[in-house]
Amino acid sequence: MLQTDVSHATWSGKPIVLIGLMGAGKSTVGRRLAQRLHLPFVDADCEIEAAAGMTIPEIFDKFGEPHFRDGERRVLARLIDDTTPKVIATGGGAFLNDDTRALILERTLAIWLDAEPHVLAERVSRRDSRPLLRDRDPIEVLTELARVRNPVYALAPIRVESIAMPHDVTVNEILKALGL
């Protein structure tokens, strides 16, 4: 059963920021949502890689997660400072940073794509480029990440369940939540 929770949110043309755990569909759903809204799409992870001149796994390996998170914070601030309407897909940990979260909640419309750990694990198993999953059990890691991160993600004014269905179903739920 698909579930959408909306608390006092209507879309006013602000940038839309998708948040949630890895595998929730932020990039794929974001691209499709942007197409449907005739807006540009920006994947924050791609912007981070372009700014750093290396992949996210390389950043983690060479400099560690704190360095990556600092770059992520700076890139998202730049993307949000440009108030042009757009859809932005964030990395799973971006919304946990206090400054980034405050900026997202103040200047954009945050939408939490929420998915069960078993759905996420199935999706992320298609690629082995996730530093937080390296040599670890995806279900275990994603269950723990959900336990820690979901209460923070719940601060977003819109929550859309991302289930094991075509991503267009999730896009349609977002459009419905936006009143479109």
Helix 26-37 and helix 167-177, axial crossing angle in degrees, nearest 10: 60
pLDDT value, residue 164: 75
Q: Per residue in 14-31, pLDDT tens?
A: 999 999 998 899 999 999
Q: Count the neighbouring beta carbons within 10 Å of the beta carbon of residue 20.
A: 27
Helix or strand or coil: residue 117? Answer: helix
Indicate whether 1 pLDDT > 50: no
Domain boundaries, the chain: 4-130+152-177
Per-position DSSP letters for 91-116, written without gaps between them: PTTGGGSHHHHHHHHHHSEEEEEE--
Residue for token digits 């890895």?
A: 22
pLDDT class of 156 with cuts at 50, 70, 90? very high
Q: Which CATH superfamily is domain 4-130+152-177 in?
A: P-loop containing nucleotide triphosphate hydrolases (3.40.50.300)
pLDDT class of 10 with cuts at 50, 70, 90? low
Give the residue-averaged pLDDT of 57-70: 90
Give the residue-averaged pLDDT of 77-105: 93
pTM for the full model? 0.88
Distance CA 31, CA 43 (A): 9
Per-chain mean pLDDT for the chain: 87
pLDDT class of 167 with cuts at 50, 70, 90? confident
